[in-house]
Amino acid sequence: MGLNLNDKKAVVAEVSAQLAETQTLVLAEYRGVQVGDMTQLRVKAREQGVYLRVLKNTLARRAVEGTVFADLASEMAGPLIYSMSKDAVAAAKVLQDFAKGNDKLVIKSGSYAGKQLDKAGVTALANIPGREVLLSQLMGVMQAPVSGFARALAALAAQKEAA
């Protein structure tokens, strides 16, 4: 049974609200994916803070109107799953990781910060380390001079004690 007009408006409003907080939107074709596999994908997406939704493409086109994702409207054809996230790489990473183990899921395109991405662009985005990893790498770089200075002072103090 189809949605009535009020239900369609509610879906468009919900997706539009989600898009307002989203940095990345990824489109993937899910033709042939088993229901159990799709459930696993949804669980993984939820764990990563990714909003995953199967929508009618006409409703999705209405939801992206007037947003930075409006250029993706031309890509919205066929059975698509829409992956959205506040984290720049999470939406792409969840779909990319799932597609590695399930060849039925095919990533079509995406958009990050208003820039449309093709399949290769989405794959490149998915291969960027997550926010936590990048922050820990940054902290390591920031601590390196301080820890080097501390080791130099300790070595100098050890030399003075030995002398």
Per-residue pLDDT of 12-37, as tens digits, reads 999 999 988 999 999 999 998 999 99
pLDDT, tens digit, 9 for 90 and up, residues 114-127: 889 999 989 888 88
Co-location of 28 and 64 in the same domain: yes
Q: How many domains does the chain have?
A: 2
CA 72 to CA 92: how far, in whole Å?
15
Q: What is the pTM of this model?
A: 0.77
The CATH number of the domain holding residue 84 is 3.30.70.1730
CA 153 to CA 159: how far, in whole Å?
10
Segments forming the whole domain that contains residue 151: 129-163
Co-location of 140 and 122 in the same domain: no
Co-location of 63 and 17 in the same domain: yes
Co-location of 20 and 60 in the same domain: yes
Co-location of 133 and 144 in the same domain: yes
* In the predicted structure, residue 138 carries a pLDDT above the cut 90: no
Co-location of 139 and 120 in the same domain: no
Asked whether 41 and 52 are in contact (CB, 8 A), the reply is: yes
